[in-house]
Amino acid sequence: MSILSTLALMVSGFVAKTRQIDPRDTEIAELKAKIDDLNRQLNSVRDDRDGWMRMAEAWRARYYGQDSAMQQIAQAQQQAQQLMDYGQQAAAYQGQLGQLQTQQLQSQQFRGFCNCVPARHDMFLPSGNRL
């Protein structure tokens, strides 16, 4: 070993011993440990939630499997109600359409006819200039 390499090892050892630990480094390490712990807890909660969801789905499948006739009746009632609602909407639209058609016919019949009362200052205009 050369003198330079020996000297370099001695200096690096001395520097390593004299280096003090920064309190921010320990705080950062503690925060990282807390974050890791919170991540483990989060994963545990997610696993529990997934288990509860599987149990709920199994219960729904079992419950609706036994009462499928009641479910079908409920669906049929809902569809019937929707059809009734659509029928009422269609009747309302037909009524509005009929009103619009009668308004169009009336406007076509009275086109060019004016049942207006002229203003006082228009009374004395020649007949060709009246509105």
Express each pLDDT in 101-112 by its tens digit.
888 777 776 666
The answer to whether 115 touches 106, Cβ cutoff 8 Å, is no
The answer to whether 107 touches 94, Cβ cutoff 8 Å, is no
Domain extent listing, the chain: 22-92
The answer to whether 130 touches 122, Cβ cutoff 8 Å, is yes
Q: What pTM does this model have?
A: 0.33
- Report d(CA 53, CA 39) in Å as an integer: 21
- What pLDDT shows up at residue 119? 76
Structure confidence at residue 130 as a pLDDT band (50, 70, 90): low
- What pLDDT shows up at residue 54? 86
